[in-house]
Structure 1
Amino acid sequence: MPNYYYTENPDVDHAEQRWDFTLLDQTLTFITDNGVFSKNTVDYGSRVLLTAVAPTLTTAAKILDVGCGYGPIGLALAKSFPASQVDMVDVNNRALALCQRNATINKIKNVKIWPSNCYQDVEDVDYDAIISNPPVRAGKQVVHTILAEAYAHLLPGGTLTIVLQKKQGAPSAKKKMLEVFGNCTTLTRDKGYFILQSIK
């Protein structure tokens, strides 16, 4: 399907919306559109992920948001941790353009946003934290690539934190993270969403 949010150029008509949402006690304005994930509100999984991961981050962390979409996770973290550097990548060009605009309208400057299929165009290997609400509909292989290849981009002691629903493969993701990192903790479980974290 050419119009799925995990494709490079979703083939759907534009229908932009603009709305406000509070994340980590910061009210952000988002512009969204057809062809992006969760265009009407910040999805519940991303909200649970943010609440669980924020206390595990240092104030000046280097963070990578993989599959950033129009930016709710990465921009909320960048706004809450102004001394941090937040890098944001996605395969979807429409989502990335919105993400850039959302960074601008919220006056968030400590972000870098660029296209990358998983880690294909991510050169840095010194992240303190990698965070992802992975594109489940893109398939298990894509999700497991995000989990496995995170290891090489993290500093020792760095963390990978993801959100997945139990029915969307959280148990197999946990197994994969254990295999790659040798550890995996469930930070939170909420309405079927699991927040899983591994430490390098």
Structure 2
Amino acid sequence: MAHWYRHRVAPHYFEPDPEATHRPATVNLVLPDLHLRLRTDRGVFSPDRIDVGTRVLLENVPAPPPTGRLLDVGCGYGPIALAMAARCPLASVLGVEVNSRAVALAEQNAQQNGLYNVDFELIPEGQPTDRSTESEKLSGPFDTIWSNPPIRVGKPALHTLLHTWLGRLADGGNAYLVVQRNLGADSLHRWLEHNGYPTRRLASRAGFRVLHVQRS
């Protein structure tokens, strides 16, 4: 059943070039400290609203460092990366994503909201394939990672994704991951601990866990 579900979901927002017919829309990200109006479309993650997991993350994470390099893994059309950029105008923010339609929307949303300290990068398969040729902005180190990771890609792909990007945290850096409890948040917590990423549960709300990983 899980394999069938991933097959049905993949063409919508895990494929590099979604085939879904365009249906442009707009959603609002409203938090106590910011209001962003964001363009969306079919073929990207959660096009009709800011999903609950993203909201839980943004309402529970501590402020990122005011300067430094900040990363959103699986940025979609940009709500998390853009929130980081708005909260930390002197920081350099990067969002990475496999979906070309989502990256194009994220770039438009950055311009529309006047956020010029954020870049977006299209990454095939979710991680660079050749570190010797990748750009400096992808190689890190990153001071903070915020992510609503793509749990439904399956454990092997998810674990590879997390190994790649958590390995690029700076010493003392922090990562915050939001994961739905019913989709394996607690088993992911155990996997992170077992693989050398000290992790604690920062928050639990609306069926989601926010996991805090710190690199020593």
Query: Where do residues 171-182 of structure 1 align in structure 2 (5 Å cutoff)?
Result: 171-182=186-197
Alignment deviations for residues 81-138 of structure 1 (CA, whole Å, 9 cap, x no partner) = 1111110110000000000000010010000111013231573221001221111221
The residue aligned with 1:35 is 43
The residue aligned with 1:102 is 109
Q: For 1:182 and 1:152, how far apart are their aligned partners in 2?
A: 9
Contact kept in structure 2, 1:64 and 1:127, CA below 8 Å: yes
TM-score, with structure 1 as normaliser? 0.93
Q: Secondary structure at the match of 2:139?
A: coil
The residue aligned with 1:128 is 143
Deviating more after overlay: 67-76 vs 141-150: 141-150
Q: Which runs of 5+ in 2 are unaligned?
A: 1-6, 129-133
Runs of 4 or more above 3 Å deviation: none
Alignment deviations for residues 2-31 of structure 1 (CA, whole Å, 9 cap, x no partner) = 622111111110000123321352111111
Q: Secondary structure at the match of 1:162?
A: strand
Q: Which runs of 5+ in 1 are unaligned?
A: none
Q: Secondary structure at the match of 1:41?
A: coil
Amino acid at match of 1:58: P
The residue aligned with 2:11 is 3
Aligned length: 199
The residue aligned with 1:46 is 54
Evaluate the alpha carbon distance shift between residue 181 and residue 161 of structure 1 in structure 2; reply closer, same or farther with a 3 A threshold: farther
Query: Where do residues 71-82 of structure 1 align in structure 2 (5 Å cutoff)?
Result: 71-82=78-89
The residue aligned with 2:70 is 63
The residue aligned with 2:169 is 154
Q: Secondary structure at the match of 2:50?
A: coil
TM-score, with structure 2 as normaliser? 0.86
Q: Secondary structure at the match of 1:181?
A: coil
C-alpha RMSD of matched pairs (Å): 1.6
Deviating more after overlay: 23-32 vs 108-117: 23-32
The residue aligned with 1:93 is 100
Q: For 1:113 and 1:52, how far apart are their aligned partners in 2?
A: 24
Q: For 1:182 and 1:88, how far apart are their aligned partners in 2?
A: 22
Contact kept in structure 1, 2:12 and 2:42, CA below 8 Å: no
Q: Secondary structure at the match of 1:3?
A: helix
- Aligned identity (percent) is 35
Amino acid at match of 2:95: M
